[in-house]
A and B are shown apart, each in its own frame.
Chain A
Amino acid sequence: MSQPQRTRSRIKIYFDILSSVQEEGNAKPTRVLYRSNLSYDRLTKYLDELVAKGLLQEVRSEDSRYYTITQKGSEFILEVKKAEAFLKGFGLSL
């Protein structure tokens, strides 16, 4: 009988990235990298996906680049938190 794989799902990775950006306010990629526990290549890929989906906004200035969460991103975090709370009652997790 095999044990379940505990790799993070795409949704969970989205959630972790968005949560770290939300907590930081204006989050630089290195901060998000540190908090989301991803390789740089994978983080870049996920950040691009989140920007394309309208969950994050990329802000570029002359010497820096940072991300802010959009209204849609905040709503996504809330929905995932509700789903997690729902599953927790059944003793389950994402």
Chain B
Amino acid sequence: MVDELYLANAVLELASGIVALLVSYTAFRYNRLLRSDILGFLSFGFMLLGVGLLAEGSLHSLISFNIGQILADRALVYVASVIYLILQVIAYSSFLIGYYRSSFGRFGVDTFVPMLSFIVVHTNRNPLLLGTYVNATVQLIVVILLAFVVFQGLLAQSGAKGRSLLVLIGFLLILVAHVVILASSLIISPPLFLTGALVQFTGFLFLLFYILRSGRVVPAAANP
């Protein structure tokens, strides 16, 4: 049962990671042409998410096939999970900063100091001593950051012409997924965790649809 759960989770994480890296590459490609800070933040954030998801997916694949007896060394699995969570915090902070700069312009150093200092406090402590506390805390930070990202996205989309809701729905699903994953870690429910991973993957699928659709721009014909 545990093996199948890890395997299903690994497949969903690997697929989500590939989509995240695809979004990152698309933003990077356009940023190379346009030199836009906003595209830079998007590319950086999705790169961190993609790398983190691929690393987590690979680790869970090894566990599911019991390769190298990784599960016996729980410290390794735990540290890897904590690193992945921290990567997510940095990634979603990056999206939030991108949206913030788009809405309000450049910010002073003091704008994000409270949030960053909160992250630093938790990363400097020994994660092995914190048990599930660190997992739930960082997940909660991710949920709060994602809620801000969704809210900013909603505000930005509300005034836009020809808007597409695919990205917003994608982020909303990823937010719901993290709430479900947070709940699963609090009540210790592996099936609920898998449900969260599935919802997260669905969110990334929406982003994939959007990437494929936004790339289809028809060239304008010149006047004779």
Quick one: CB contact mask for A40-55 with B, threshold 8 Å, 1 for yes? 0000000000000000
Give how many B residues have a beta carbon under 8 Å from the other chain's beta carbons: 41
CA distance A81 to B33 in the complex (A): 12
| Nearest neighbor of A69 in chain B, beta-carbon distance | B222
A86 touching B222 in the complex, CB below 8 Å, given contacts A3-B104, A81-B217:
no
Residues of B within 8 A of A85 (CB): 214-215, 217
Residues of A within 8 A of B26 (CB): 86
Q: Give the bracket for the number of chain A residues in contact with chain B.
A: 20 to 34
Query: Is there contact, CB below 8 Å, between B217 and A5?
Result: no
| Nearest neighbor of A90 in chain B, beta-carbon distance | B167
The interface-forming segment of B10-18, B49-57, B133-141, B158-166 is B158-166
CA distance A23 to B221 in the complex (A): 8
A2 touching B104 in the complex, CB below 8 Å, given contacts A22-B220, A23-B223, A79-B30:
yes
Question: How close is A65's CB to chain B, nearest CB, in angstroms?
Answer: 18
| Nearest neighbor of B162 in chain A, beta-carbon distance | A88
Residues of B within 8 A of A87 (CB): 30, 36, 38-39
Query: Is there contact, CB below 8 Å, between B220 and A23?
Result: yes
Residues of B within 8 A of A9 (CB): 34, 36
CA distance A22 to B220 in the complex (A): 8
Q: Indicate whether A77 reaches chain B with its CB closer than 8 angstroms.
A: yes
Query: Is there contact, CB below 8 Å, between A82 and B30?
Result: yes
Chain A residues touching B, majority SS: helix
Query: Is there contact, CB below 8 Å, between A90 and B222?
Result: no
Query: Is there contact, CB below 8 Å, between B101 and A4?
Result: yes
Query: Is there contact, CB below 8 Å, between B27 and A86?
Result: yes
CA distance A24 to B220 in the complex (A): 12
Query: Is there contact, CB below 8 Å, between B156 and A78?
Result: no
Residues of A within 8 A of B106 (CB): 2
* Cβ-closest 4 pairs across A and B: A91-B156, A4-B105, A83-B30, A25-B223
Binding site for B on A (CB under 8 A): 1-5, 9, 11, 19, 22-25, 69, 74, 76-83, 85-94
Binding site for A on B (CB under 8 A): 26-27, 30, 33-36, 38-39, 42, 98-99, 101-106, 152-157, 160, 162-164, 166-168, 210-211, 214-215, 217, 219-220, 222-224
Between A and B, 29 residue pairs with Cβ closer than 8 Å are A1-B104, A3-B104, A3-B105, A4-B101, A4-B102, A9-B34, A9-B36, A11-B33, A19-B220, A24-B223, A78-B219, A80-B33, A82-B214, A86-B30, A86-B214, A88-B162, A88-B163, A89-B163, A89-B166, A90-B156, A91-B152, A91-B153, A91-B154, A91-B155, A91-B156, A91-B160, A91-B168, A92-B98, A94-B34
